[in-house]
Amino acid sequence: MTPTSAPNGFITDWSADGSGVNKEIGVVLVHGYTGSPSSMRPWAEYLNQQGYTVRVPLLPGHGTKPEDLSQIKWQQWPEKIESELDELRKNCTKIFICGFSMGGGTTLHVATKRSDKITGIILVNPMIHLPFIGTKLAYLLSRTKKYRSSVGDDIKRPGVTQGGYEVMSTEGIYQILQMLKYTRANLHRVSVPMQLFHSVDDHTLPVSNTEIVMKRVGSLSKERIELTNSFHVATLDYDAEIIFENSLIFIERHSS
């Protein structure tokens, strides 16, 4: 699993203008740690076919080589998403953010600060903590072993890849946990409608991540949908259509 293993053109920033009555509704789709836009591209294309304007950014440190993740500060990830929001706001009246795994944590972080600029958020197996690993321990680990094997393609469907790194930077993990520590403390500030998809068979993140998000997010409207035939990278797995179709219903409901 490397960035070159994904389809040509799926590892870079990607965007597509919408059409018809949905053209002024924008959607940003955010991939996970060590992954790439490839994990979100089919979902984005599905929404674009329904007329929505979509943007799938490549997060800083991704799509190149694992060493680049060791040079990133966590603030660069939400800043990238906020820049996408600003671009969409030039032509869109309503904006949704869809985040997978660490991209879900990044989405929540942005929503703690900019709920007034977002119409809704959709999360797939979001990351909000790593049990038993705090920022201090993560810092120490990052100083003793720079890289660990990536969990990578935790996908039930055979022969599918998200085109990410085969190893992950422990410095990057330290950066993620700093971002998530702040985000957890401010989840009550997330006030927009939220839809969350959770894989029952997730080998990457424990269910406590979903439980924390569902309990602490301040949104009055929040729903959880269980996925029973997918592993962690559910956006590319057997339950992808469940995600696509239900997210469409969610966006339609909160756009009218």
Which has the closest alpha carbon to 80: 103, 54, 53, 47? Answer: 103
Which has the closest alpha carbon to 84: 68, 98, 72? Answer: 98
Calculated CA dihedral for residues 61, 65, 69, 72, nearest 10 degrees: -50
- Dihedral of alpha carbons 140, 77, 41, 192, sign: positive
- β-pairing, 222-227 with 147-149? unpaired
User: Coil, strand or helix: which one is 169?
Assistant: strand
User: What positions carry a catalytic annotation?
Assistant: 101, 202, 232
Residue 114 CA to residue 110 CA, distance in Å, equals 6
Amino acid symbol at 138: A
- β-pairing, 222-227 with 194-199? parallel
Structure token pair of residue 189: 């500030």
